[in-house]
Structures are given as C-alpha cells and as structure tokens.
A and B are shown apart, each in its own frame.
Chain A
Amino acid sequence: MKRLLAVTLGILTAIGGFVDIGDLVAASLVGARFGFSLVWVLLVGVVGICVYAEMAGRVAAVAGRPTFDLVRERLGPRTALANLVGSLLVTGLTLAAELAGVALAIELISSVAHLLWVPLVGFAVWLVIWRTRFETMERVFGLAGLALVVFVVAVYRLDPAWGSVLERVTHPEVPGGEGLPTYFYYAIALFASAMTPYEVFFFSSGGIEEKWKRKDLITARINVFLGFPLGGFLALSIMAAAALLLHPAGIAVEHLSQVVLPVGYALGKLGLGLVLIGVFAATFGAALETALSSGYTVAQYFGWTWGKTAAPRTASRFHAVVIVALLAGMTLVLTGVDPVMVTEYSLVFAAVALPLTYLPILVVANDPEYMGEARNGRFANLMGGLYLVVVLMAAVAAIPLMIATKAGL
C-alpha cells in the first residue's frame, strides 16, 4: 500500500501536465475537430515526458539537485534567465487558467458565476500550500483527479467499433475542411502541453521535498512510468469520448460544460457528478503544481532556500514568490479573459523554455561527477537526443504556425 501511495507525486505531476484545464478543453476540442487523427501525438508526448522526467527524477534522487538549479549551472546566468522568464510566463499563465478552471467547475455545480469564486479559489490554493503536508496534498488531489477515469468508462459505454477506431488511430488523416497548418498547430499544442516544463520542475523539486535518496530510484521510476502514462491515458479517453460523440455531431468545444457532455450522455447524473469531482481535483492539483513551480524556479535560479516542507519563515522569499504568482494569476482571471485562450497562448513561451530546460537535464544526467554509476545509459541518451530534436523542431515551428493559423482558428 505504501509503495502504491508513493506514486502520487507522479500522478499529480502528470495530471497537471495532461488533464489541467487547458488540456481538458484542448483534448476534447481536438477530439471533436480531428477525431482520432491526433492520437499519435499524445503517445509521442507521453514517451517524451517519461524520458525526461525519469532523468530529472534520477538527478534529484542521486545528486540531490532540482532541475532549475541545473539550468542555471549548465547554461549560465543569461540563458537561464531567458528560460526563467519563459517558464514563469507559461507557468503563471497556466496557473491563472487553472484558478479559472476550478472556479468554472464550481460554477457547473453551484450555478454561481465563476468570477465570484476566483478569489476564494486562490485563497484555498495558498492555504493548501501554506498548511498541508506535501504528501497529503499529493495524495488528495492526485487520487481525486483519478475520478476522471469516468471518461474511460464513458468511452467503453459509447461502444465504438474498435476495429475502425484502431484503423483511424494508425492511419491518421486530416479531416475534410481542416488545413494542414491547423492540423500541425494542434499537434504541436498537444505535444507541448504533454512536455510542458513545469512538470519536470515540480517533479524533481517534489522528489527533493520527499527527501528522495539513491535508494529511492525505484520509487522515482515507478512514479514516472505509472504516473505519466496514466495522465496520458486520461487525456486520450477525453479525446476519444469527444471523437466518438461530438465529432460526428459536429459540436465544437469552447467551454468546460461541453467537455463533460459525453460523460453525462453515456453515464447520466452519477457520471456527471464524478466527472465534476475529477475536473475540480485535476484543476486544483494543477493550480498547486503551477503555483509551487513558480516558487521553485525563481528560488532555484537565485539559490534561495525553497520548499514547503520546512516552516515558511525559513523560506520566506520562496513563499513570497508563490503568493505573488497567485495574486497575479487571480488578477489576470478577474479581467474576464478566456482561460482556455490563455493556456493556448502560453505555448509561445513554452517554445523558448522547452529546449532550454531539457538540454541541461540531458547534460547533467550524463555527468559522472554528479551521477556516478547512475548516469545515463545508451538507451536513455538515444531517446533523450531524439526528443531534444523533436522539441527543437516543435519550438521552431510553434510561433510561425500560430501566426499562420491565427492560433488554430
């Protein structure tokens, strides 16, 4: 049981990456617009984040260094600062969207306008960071987020013709009426959200908060190879549900209420109740992940004391950054900006941050002075190198495609 509960860090991290508010809507939107033709991107993304989260977790457990520490050390202060600014923008914009996402989930339950809930949600997120034990936080929100498994049940109940689904997954075709640039724009958006940098920041820092040592390498690996595929599987089931129900009906996804529609249709009120719990927990968990990640990255760049396991007095600058990030996120949402658009635009900054985050991890994971016997093997380097090329291509293509397609219109 203890081993089983020890994987909640991986699950919570993956939930923040794969089924946070932006991805809930994006996965559903992609399913509704492109059917099953983009499933392959999700699979590519799951493998990619596994490769790099495993390295980041291994470096955290063996050398005791979190990811952003390595970024500054290997890239120098200037390049690392560019990464810091890019990562903070992605993380901060995502945090803002998550606060809105939690509020939207409460709106669906309570019918009280979501903007009224935003300050309360922001305060609740801070309170959890300020007072709750790291492990409790991870277990409650990681496990409750698994309520999204109802999407899997819904797909099963929608009873698709599995043979033709498989055919459409393995032989992707751009659906009629969609241009090739738009198709690739969404492919990059899906890929970038699967490999979003705050996942490795949170995962490696979380491992250090949990005091991982060399003997916890197994725990780190189980976290990676169970947590991230599970997150990817949830995103896949959301996409499949939309592809089965919304794509044929020609319904376009613009709002959270349409994301949960297939579950309500297939499983009725009980399913709808469960899916709302899942959405609430997943977005709240993602808000915790992004708020903490903002603090982790800034503190690790400047070398400050960080972490939520110690008394806040002993890490005041870290806690101050978390509070500022939360206040900024709340302010942004209260302007009435569309939270889903916010996460879509954050892709631009992810393009800067992604290669500059993964390169230092790959370099340090190969350094025997840090890693000793636990340094990268040939397979990890092959995969790491391959994905660095993919990440670079995605980073280069992201902004031109965004402009060319007017952000996927």
Chain B
Amino acid sequence: MPDEEADAREETRTGPEARWAGRAYSARFHLLDRQVVDGDDRPVCKVDDLELELDPDGPPRVTAVFVGPAALAPRLGGKTARWLAAVQRRLSVGEGEGPARLDFGRVTGIGAVVRVDLPEENVGVHALEDWTRENVIGRLPGADHASG
C-alpha cells in the first residue's frame, strides 16, 4: 500500500505514554517505520506498512500493521523493491498470501516505540527468525545460553 495515508489521523489509543488529550497522531510520523515491541520490551518488527479502512463519512482508520519484506518492498520503489520482493518470494515458506498482519487492536501504546500485545500464534511475523533458528543458529553449540 502506498503511503497516501500519510496525513490520515489516527484516533488516540490508550497507552502508557502521556499525551495531551485530543492531540492527533500522524500515520507517517508516529507509526510508519517505528519499532514494534512486545509486552516484555523485546523488538518484534518495524511498522513496514499500514492497512487502512476507508470510511466515506470520516477519516480513514488504521486497522492493521503489515510486517515483513513483502510489505516493505512496495514502499521502496524501483529496482530495490523488485529485488527485495524477489528475495522475499524465494525465502517464504508457505503460499504467497501477502505480508504478515498485526491487528491494530493489539496495539497498546504509541510512543518512541509501538507497543503490542503479541498473540501466541504470531504466524508469519517471525517466519525468517524461526527458519534461521531451526536451521542455522539453534544448531550451533551454546545457542541456548545467554552470554550476558
């Protein structure tokens, strides 16, 4: 999805970060390309793109965060985009059913990071991480122990 939604205003969700009531969020400034972290402050992904629901009577609403190279590639444009999309297609395991999607209802805070309450079955969000762990890193001795 291209970023025409740049100036779409998103209604303030409740979050730990203090903000004046009624102050708007900008999709481009506060959401796109922000780091997403889970409840334990672990990095999850970047906000690679947004899913919008167009409401003929009001401003568009953000309904989901799109994650991964499949979501990022169209935003890069040009040759890089085609290259990244090609790499992504070859790396993906399942059928190409589009980018991984994080429902916006799971977002608990927008600040220096976007906080989400991650579901257990976060299929797709961590596909490459899972693959690397199963096939490369997890097989090396000592991968389970934190070096601190």
Cβ < 8 Å to A, chain B residues 25-67:
32-36, 42-46, 48
Which residues of chain A from 298 to 334 have any CB-CB distance to chain B below 8 Å in the complex? 299, 301-306, 308-314, 316-317, 319-320, 323
Is there an interface contact between B128 and A73, defined as CB atoms closer than 8 Å?
no
Map CB proximity to B onto A324-358 as digits: 1 under 8 Å, 0 otherwise: 00000000000000000000000000000000000
**Number of A-B pairs, beta carbon distance below 8 Å:** 94
Contacts A133-B147, A133-B148, A310-B146 given; indicate if A81 touches B35 (C-beta within 8 A). Answer: no
Q: How does the 8 Å CB contact mask read for B97-125 relative to A, with 1 for contact and 0 for none?
A: 00000000000000111000000000000
CA distance A12 to B74 in the complex (A): 40
Q: Which of A73, A78, A80, A130 touches B34 (beta carbons < 8 Å)?
A: A73
A73→B46 CA distance, assembly (Å): 9
Whether A163 sits at the interface, judged by CB under 8 Å, is no
Does A72 have its Cβ within 8 Å of any Cβ on chain B?
A: yes
Give Cα A312–Cα B143 distance, bound, in whole angstroms: 5
Let me know if B147 and A77 touch, CB within 8 A. Answer: no
B144 at the interface (CB under 8 A from A): yes
Is the CB–CB distance between B46 and A302 below 8 Å?
Answer: yes
Residues of A within 8 A of B144 (CB): 311-313
Complex CA–CA separation, A135 to B147 (angstroms): 10
A170 on interface, CB distance cutoff 8 Å = no
| Distance of A308 Cα from B145 Cα, bound (Å) | 11
Instruction: Report Cα–Cα, A310/B148, bound state, in Å.
Output: 6
Given A305-B43, A316-B136, A317-B129, are A72 and B33 neighbors across the interface (CB < 8 Å)? yes
A134 within 8 A of B: yes
A311 to B142 alpha-carbon distance, docked (Å): 8
A313 touches which of B43, B75, B137 (Cβ 8 Å): B137
Contacts of B137 in A (CB 8 A): 312-313, 316, 319-320
CB of B76 within 8 A of CB of A81, answer yes
Find out whether the CB atom of A305 lies under 8 angstroms from the CB atom of B46: no
Q: Which residue of B lies closest to A73 (CB)?
A: B33
Cβ of B133 under 8 Å from chain A = yes
Contacting residues, chain B, for A323 (C-beta < 8 A):
136
Interchain CA distance A299-B111 in the complex, whole Å: 20
> Contact check: which of B46, B76, B132, B133 meets A303 at CB < 8 Å?
B46
User: Is B145 in contact with A77, judged by CB distance below 8 angstroms?
Assistant: no
**Is A373 an interface residue when CB atoms closer than 8 A count as contact?**
no
**Min CB distance, B132 to chain A, in Å?**
4
> Do the beta carbons of A77 and B76 come within 8 Å of each other?
yes
Distance from B140 Cβ to chain A, minimum over Cβ atoms (Å): 7
Q: Which residues of B contact A309 (CB under 8 A)?
A: 146-148
Determine if A69 and B129 form an interchain contact, defined as CB atoms under 8 angstroms apart: no
- B70 part of interface (Cβ distance < 8 Å): no
- In the bound complex, what is the Cα–Cα distance between A304 and B68 (angstroms)? 10
Which residue of chain A has the shortest Cβ distance to B67 in the bound complex? A303
Shortest A405–chain B CB gap in Å is 33
Contact of A159 with B by CB under 8 A? no
Known A-B contacts A312-B137, A369-B112; the reply to A304 vs B43 at CB < 8 A is yes
Known: A72-B33, A77-B75, A302-B46. A132 touches B112 (CB 8 A): no
A299 to B45, CA, bound (A): 9
Q: Would you give the 0/1 interface string for B72-114, flagging 1 where the beta carbon is closer than 8 Å to chain A?
A: 1001110010000000000000000000000000000001110
On chain A, the residues within 8 Å of B43 by CB distance are: 299, 303-306
Residue in chain B with minimal CB distance to A305: B43
Once the chains are docked, how many angstroms separate the CA of A406 from the CA of B113?
A: 46
Bound Cα distance from A101 to B77, whole angstroms: 40
Return chain B residues, CB-CB under 8 Å to A77: 33, 48, 72, 75-76
In this complex, the member of A65, A133, A306, A311 whose beta carbon has the largest number of chain B beta carbons within 10 angstroms is A311
Shortest C-beta distance, A210 to chain B (Å), equals 11
A63 at the interface (CB under 8 A from B): yes
For A69, the chain B residues whose CB sits under 8 A away are: 35
Whether A370 is near chain B, meaning CB under 8 Å from some CB there, is yes
B138 within 8 A of A: yes
Q: 26 A-B Cβ contacts within 8 A?
A: A64-B112, A65-B35, A65-B112, A73-B33, A73-B34, A76-B32, A77-B75, A81-B80, A131-B147, A133-B148, A134-B148, A303-B43, A303-B45, A303-B46, A304-B129, A305-B43, A309-B148, A310-B146, A311-B143, A311-B145, A313-B133, A313-B143, A316-B129, A316-B136, A317-B128, A320-B137
List chain B positions with a Cβ less than 8 A from chain A. 32-36, 42-46, 48, 72, 75-77, 80, 111-113, 128-129, 132-133, 136-138, 140, 142-148
List the 10 closest A-B pairs by CB distance, nearest first: A303-B46, A316-B137, A316-B133, A316-B132, A133-B148, A311-B146, A303-B45, A63-B112, A312-B143, A313-B143
